[in-house]
Amino acid sequence: MSDELIDAIENMREAEALTLARERLERGEDPLKLLELCRQAVDSVGKRFENGDSFLPELMLAGEMLAQISEIAKPKIVRYVEVKRVGKVVIGTVEGDIHDIGKNIVTFLLDINGFEVRDIGIDVPPAKFIEAIKDVRPQVVGLSGLLTLAIESMKETVQAIKAAGLRDKVKIMIGGNQMSENVKEYAEADAYGKDAMAAVTLAKRWVGVK
């Protein structure tokens, strides 16, 4: 049976989606489970966009709804999660790709799990990743991308980080719909995160947090 919140997001009923999210959170629904429903809905809109069945404004609205619901849910999550800073992450969508919904979910979950996150945005060239690594000195770098062309950009970014003498100072994860273990090997990254929670698990492992 379809969830009413998923249905509202998929069909661009913004006011209804926000009202439903607030009501369900006030009733004590698990905020992380609620965000997972939102992610499923946004993924559905993203697939329609990829197939040419919806348009960019719809994809952007779905992402905006997710961002707003995330802000509503965050205090509820923090109430139950003791947030102690455990590490630093630099994350961005690689050059040539402007998709940020998945990246934003990962950033949000890393934040509430204790990471200081520098989100450097979309369509990020290798030089900007290098600049951020030098500035932030993170333990983890996240490369995000939805499009197939992002695969080559990821490889180029890892190579640039290596050429800058920073490769042995960071762990690099990749993520996005087109990504896989094979892409991880091709790009010479350290790991592939199949979803946002996998990314959090990897980051925690790399900084020695259970």
Domain range annotation of the chain? 4-80, 87-207
Cα gap 76→17, rounded to integer Å: 17
Nearest to 186 by CA among 194, 201, 174: 174
pLDDT at 204: 94
Kindly report which listed range (46-60, 126-140, 143-157) carries the lowest average pLDDT score: 46-60
**pLDDT bracket for residue 1 (50, 70, 90):** very low
The CATH H-level superfamily of 4-80 is Methionine synthase domain (1.10.1240.10)
**Interhelix angle for 56-80 vs 14-26, to 10°?**
10
Mean pLDDT of the chain: 90
Class of the CATH domain delimited by 87-207? alpha beta
Q: 140-158 in b/e burial notation, b at 16+ Cβ within 10 A? A: bbbbbbbbeebbebbbbbb
pLDDT at 79: 61
**Residue that the structure tokens 């790709």 belong to:** 97
Predicted confidence (pLDDT) per residue in 94-118, tens digit: 999 988 878 888 888 888 788 999 9
Between strands 115-119 and 171-175, the pairing is: unpaired
Nearest to 104 by CA among 2, 209, 199, 205: 199
Read off the pLDDT of each residue in 5-29 and give the average, rounded to a whole number.
Answer: 94
